[in-house]
Amino acid sequence: MPKKKKGAKKSKRGPRIDPARMAELKKKRKFRKYYYRGVEVEKLLDLPHGELLKLVTSRARRRFRRGLKEKPKGFIQRLRKAKKACAGTIKKPKIIKTHLRSMIIVPEMVAAQIGVYNGKGYILVEVNPDMIGHYLGEYAITYKPVGHGRPGVGS
């Protein structure tokens, strides 16, 4: 029987790649681009108000044309403040709690953390680009779904 070689051991971490090659691979890596009705999300932030209104549904368009009241305006101000506080860091913005379930998600809210009230407590909603144009309330369920199990006593 041939003897085993002592010098050749397999690495548990896989093949080692030098740092220069790793940096090159990271630059090459492409992330999924998010689109809302054919427009990139990054470009949505730069669109003027009128152009953004043309992209959303008629219900949302009507809502924004009639103007935002004090509470939604205050909510957006708090979101801006929280996003500005963590702008240069990797951290996520502070959670903003709200009862405004009827607030329509706009591109400015993307990457924010919002605590949406469901009648009992606050449900954490992390806004991503797919949620634009929907209501905050759609992501915070107000009831506990029924788990149909075994029948109880007296049935």
Q: In the 8-state DSSP scheme, what is residue 8? A: -
**CA gap 51, 29 in Å, rounded:** 32
> Which pLDDT score is estimated for 4?
63
> Which pLDDT score is estimated for 16?
75
Between 40 and 27, the higher pLDDT residue: 40
Mean pLDDT on 32-52: 85
As given in the structure block, the two tokens for residue 55 are 């992209």
Phi, psi of 35 (to 5 degrees): -125, 145
Q: Which of 55, 109, 107, 115 is nearest to 83 (CA)?
A: 109
CB atoms within 10 A of CB 139: 18
* pLDDT surpassing 60 at residue 25: yes
| pTM for this prediction | 0.72
**CA gap 9, 15 in Å, rounded:** 12
**Per-residue pLDDT tens for 116-144?**
999 999 999 999 988 999 999 999 999 99
* pLDDT surpassing 70 at residue 2: no
**Per-residue pLDDT tens for 68-118?**
899 999 999 999 999 889 888 888 889 999 999 999 999 889 889 999 999
Q: In the 8-state DSSP scheme, what is residue 16? A: -
Task: Answer whether 36's CB lies under 8 Å from 106's CB.
Answer: no
β-partners of residue 108 are none
